């Protein structure tokens, strides 16, 4: 049976560069045309290119990723996805930065290797999930601490234009409409109404 290498590259944001992942996959022997790339968060598996790739996996294919977090970040979903690929689809998985621990290609010949790969996956996915939750907690704690120090979040409120009082008085005398008042101040109607409500 011919072994087909398939590669998956994921970046969470457009600022992240996929080049390092692509070079690692090509260095392993994955053909350029067999590498699927997308810019999506790893919080779940609702990724169109990834789902298309997995759907087309055949028994004996090998899905290669640079690191486990490129596959996903949610521990339970990650383990379920690993099983879907290796058990249901009958494909193999290779995680380049965890070779030879996360490489299922020898699973049929070596039960211990298969057991170790599953065990390592469980441990790493737990650590990944724990780190994600810790980061979230640290961010929340940082925001609370910053607020206690008086740091303001969000956009800085717009200052009232110099002609605000003049326009407001004309609006109150019903000499101009809300739209005209907003136009004269160079803001939207909702902003003008919000300013009026605060005065």
Q: Which residues are catalytic?
A: 12
Distance between CA 63 and CA 54 in Å, rounded?
9
The CA–CA distances, whole Å, from 93 to 7, 55, 133 equal: 10, 15, 26
Q: Is the peptide bond before 100 cis (omega within 30 degrees of 0)?
A: yes
- DSSP state string for 55-88: HT--TT-EEEESSHHHH-S-HHHHHHHHHIIIII
């Amino acid at each position: 049976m011919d072994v087909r290498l398939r590669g998956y590259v994921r970046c969470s944001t457009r600022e992240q560069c996929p080049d390092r992942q692509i070079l690692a996959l090509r260095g392993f022997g994955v053909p350029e045309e067999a590498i699927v790339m997308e810019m999506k968060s790893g919080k779940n598996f609702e990724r169109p290119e990834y789902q298309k790739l997995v759907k087309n996996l055949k028994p004996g294919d090998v899905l290669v990723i640079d690191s486990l977090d490129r596959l996903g970040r949610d521990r339970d979903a990650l383990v379920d996805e690993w099983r879907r690929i290796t058990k249901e689809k009958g494909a193999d998985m290779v995680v380049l930065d965890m070779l030879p621990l996360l490489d299922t290609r020898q699973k049929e010949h070596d039960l211990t290797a298969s057991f170790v790969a599953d065990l390592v996956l469980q441990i790493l996915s737990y650590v990944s999930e724990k780190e994600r939750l810790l980061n979230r907690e640290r961010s929340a704690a940082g925001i609370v601490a910053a607020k206690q120090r008086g740091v303001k979040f969000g956009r800085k409120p717009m200052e009232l234009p110099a002609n605000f009082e003049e326009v407001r008085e004309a609006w109150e005398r019903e000499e101009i409409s809300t739209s005209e008042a907003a136009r004269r101040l160079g803001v939207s109607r909702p902003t003008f109404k919000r300013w009026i409500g605060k005065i």
